[in-house]
């Protein structure tokens, strides 16, 4: 199906990939694994033809698909063979609603309207998209967008499916759903997937290819990968292979003393984006004490991020009240005291260097300067002080936005999917810094995440959101993550 011989890829005069030799057979399922910045996404871009199309002169070596050089395939021909799911599927959609998006793709290949309709209905049922058909892709939650992108990519039965971290923003049931869909892929369909979350890929993948510093360093069968010790995996920057293997790690989480003084209280908070539609959140209540660390979990689209934005004063509740230190809080006050780290961190980068980003809206006192230096060191981005934030990798941007937030010492810090797309090392960095700030400054953390490995290590209780219902609270200790669903 695909052959790469001595392939090199240069970006900004730097070798992003070097000496890549790889052969993928028809129907083979392959995963690219490795730490952030190892070249997984770049290799996918080479394979799906995007890099060849836009930067052919920066590629050395031979890439061939079905015994024909990749550069000789036209974009239209490649579309018929390769289906793509991007890491950030937001800009992958062109139509006004999900139903149109499906038929747009199908219309590229099929002429018969009835056949398009039949195929569209089948895909809708397979991917459980019935409730989303009329919705605009832009208004879907991240996980829903990813599911739709996957459905669109597979709708035309491509011979090769290329996926870049499809699970990054998905909740556990959706990841397992994706796993089932991958297991049900036709035998002749080849799959190439780049991932950090490995637990759901074990039954799907035939071969794991480990990349580091732009080179293929090792190959593993699922059995060989499983036989690596946790230490070996961690050293390689690989995440855990099991969903529920973190209970022991969580044992030393500091439990906040139950205090009477509430830092933040939400009373009967309701919100709906559209007056014509049902409310997304109905009479939600929450009380948070200083220094607490709470995880917000639940299926994609139930309103976790919306609730977080309400608490951060970014949007106004249609009903209900929010109190900060027992006083009714205006949006303005919430914006000052509650810091929200967005899921898509690129929006929150404003300055032209990492150091300037930290002090953009803050006076640079000696104490804060020392603290900023320490924070950057703790988050392992100290060497990037002079770099432009736009040139950082996803994980580095994530850590920079977190550093900026922590330097402002907000009373409450809300993190929206802080671990998506992070490798083991970056994840551990963030976990250590969160723990340190809870100890030193009693900062309160609210964390939205689908990542059990992360939640088990930073949260003492979780709030499980369900559609049109009050969220339920569970203590993390002693519970299995999967039990929350």
Partner 1 sequence: MTFKKIDPFFQILTFVLIISLTFFVSLTESFVLALFGVAYLFIQGAFKPGLKYLCVTLLTSLLLILILRTTNTYIGLLGWLITILFKLLPTMIFGVSLGLIPINELRSVMASFKIPNQLQMALIVGLRYFAILSDELHEIRQARLTHGLSFRNPIYFRRPLLIMDYYLVPTLMRTTKLIDDLSVAAYTEG
Q: Does 120 bind partner 1 (CB under 8 A)?
A: no
The 8 Å CB, 24+ separation contacts for 308-314 are 308/340, 308/414, 308/416, 308/446, 308/448, 309/340, 310/266, 310/269, 310/271, 310/281, 311/264, 311/266, 311/338, 311/340, 311/412, 311/414, 311/446, 312/338, 312/339, 312/340, 312/414, 313/338, 314/340
Q: Does 349 bind partner 1 (CB under 8 A)?
A: yes
Q: Which of residues 59-78 bind partner 1 (CB under 8 A)?
A: 75-76, 78
Nearer to partner 1, 53 or 323 (CB): 53
Least distance to partner 1 from the beta carbon of 83, Å?
Answer: 9
Least distance to partner 1 from the beta carbon of 202, Å?
Answer: 28
Say if residues 159 and 190 touch (Cβ distance below 8 Å).
Answer: yes
Q: The tokens 């056949």 sit on which residue?
A: 115
Q: Which of 340, 355, 333 is nearest to 309 (CA)?
A: 340
CA 369 to chain centre: 31
Residue among 347, 366, 440, 478 that touches partner 1 (CB under 8 A): 347
Q: The tokens 């907000």 sit on which residue?
A: 410
Query: Which phi-psi region, left, alpha or beta, contains residue 436 (left: φ > 0; alpha: ψ -120 to 50)?
Result: alpha
Say if residues 219 and 207 touch (Cβ distance below 8 Å).
Answer: yes
Q: Which of residues 313-342 bind partner 1 (CB under 8 A)?
A: 313-314, 332, 335-336, 339-342
> Per-residue x/- marks for partner 1, 275-314, CB under 8 A?
----------------------------------x--xxx
Q: What is the largest CA-CA distance in the chain?
A: 70
Q: Taking the CA of residue 305 as centre, how many other CA atoms within 13 Å lie in the half-sphere pointing to its CB?
A: 19
Region from 92-100, 121-129, 194-202, 365-373 binding partner 1, contact rule CB under 8 A: 92-100
Residue among 44, 82, 175, 384 that touches partner 1 (CB under 8 A): 82
Least distance to partner 1 from the beta carbon of 90, Å?
Answer: 8
Q: Does 463 bind partner 1 (CB under 8 A)?
A: no
What would the two tokens of residue 201 be? Answer: 């890929």
DSSP 303: S
Q: Does 107 bind partner 1 (CB under 8 A)?
A: yes
> Per-residue x/- marks for partner 1, 19-48, CB under 8 A?
-----------------------------x
> Per-residue x/- marks for partner 1, 223-252, CB under 8 A?
------------------------------
Q: Which residues bind partner 1 (CB under 8 A)?
A: 48-50, 53-54, 75-76, 78-80, 82, 84, 86, 88, 90-97, 100-101, 103-105, 107-108, 138, 309, 312-314, 332, 335-336, 339-342, 344, 346-352, 360-361, 390
């Amino acid at each position: 199906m695909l052959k790469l011989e001595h392939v090199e890829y240069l970006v900004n005069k730097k070798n992003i990939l070097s000496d890549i030799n790889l052969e993928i057979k028809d129907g083979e399922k392959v995963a690219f694994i490795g730490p952030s910045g190892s070249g997984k996404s770049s290799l996918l871009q080479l394979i799906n033809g995007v890099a060849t199309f836009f930067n052919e002169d920066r590629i050395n070596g031979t890439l061939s698909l079905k015994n024909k050089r990749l550069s000789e395939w036209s974009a239209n021909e490649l579309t018929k063979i390769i289906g793509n799911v991007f890491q950030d599927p937001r800009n992958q959609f062109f139509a006004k609603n999900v139903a149109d998006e499906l038929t747009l793709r199908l219309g590229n290949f099929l002429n018969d309207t009835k056949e398009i309709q039949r195929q569209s209905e089948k895909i809708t049922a397979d991917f459980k998209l019935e409730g989303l058909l009329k919705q605009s892709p832009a208004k879907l939650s991240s996980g829903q967008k990813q599911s739709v992108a996957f459905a669109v990519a597979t709708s035309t039965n491509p011979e090769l499916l290329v996926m870049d971290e499809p699970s990054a923003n998905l909740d556990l049931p959706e990841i397992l759903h994706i796993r089932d869909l991958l297991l049900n892929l036709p035998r002749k369909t080849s799959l190439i997937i780049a991932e950090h979350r490995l637990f759901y890929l074990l039954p799907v993948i035939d071969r794991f290819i480990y990349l580091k510093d732009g080179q293929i360093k090792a190959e593993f069968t699922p059995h060989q990968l499983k036989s690596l010790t946790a230490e070996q995996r961690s050293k390689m920057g690989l995440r855990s292979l099991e969903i529920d293997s973190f209970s022991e790690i969580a044992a030393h989480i500091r439990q906040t003393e139950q205090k009477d003084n509430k830092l933040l209280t939400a009373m009967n908070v309701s919100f709906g984006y559209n007056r014509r539609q049902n409310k997304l959140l109905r009479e939600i209540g929450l009380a948070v004490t200083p220094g607490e660390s709470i995880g917000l979990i639940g299926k994609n689209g139930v309103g976790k991020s919306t609730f977080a934005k309400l608490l951060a004063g970014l949007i106004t509740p249609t009903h209900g009240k929010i109190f900060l230190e027992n006083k009714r809080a205006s949006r303005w006050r919430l914006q000052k005291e509650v810091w929200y780290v967005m899921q898509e961190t690129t929006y929150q980068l404003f300055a032209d260097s990492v150091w300037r980003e930290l002090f953009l809206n803050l006076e640079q006192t000696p104490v804060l300067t020392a603290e900023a230096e320490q924070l950057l060191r703790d988050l392992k981005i100290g060497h990037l002080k002079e770099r432009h934030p736009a040139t950082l990798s996803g994980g580095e941007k994530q850590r920079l936005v977190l550093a900026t937030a922590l330097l402002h010492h907000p009373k409450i810090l809300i993190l929206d999917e802080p671990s998506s797309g992070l490798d083991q090392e970056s994840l551990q960095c963030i976990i250590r810094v969160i723990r340190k700030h809870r100890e030193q400054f009693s900062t309160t953390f609210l964390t939205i995440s689908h990542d059990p490995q992360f939640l088990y290590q930073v949260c003492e209780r979780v709030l499980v959101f369900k559609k049109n219902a009050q969220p339920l609270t569970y203590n993390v200790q002693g519970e299995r993550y999967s039990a929350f669903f």
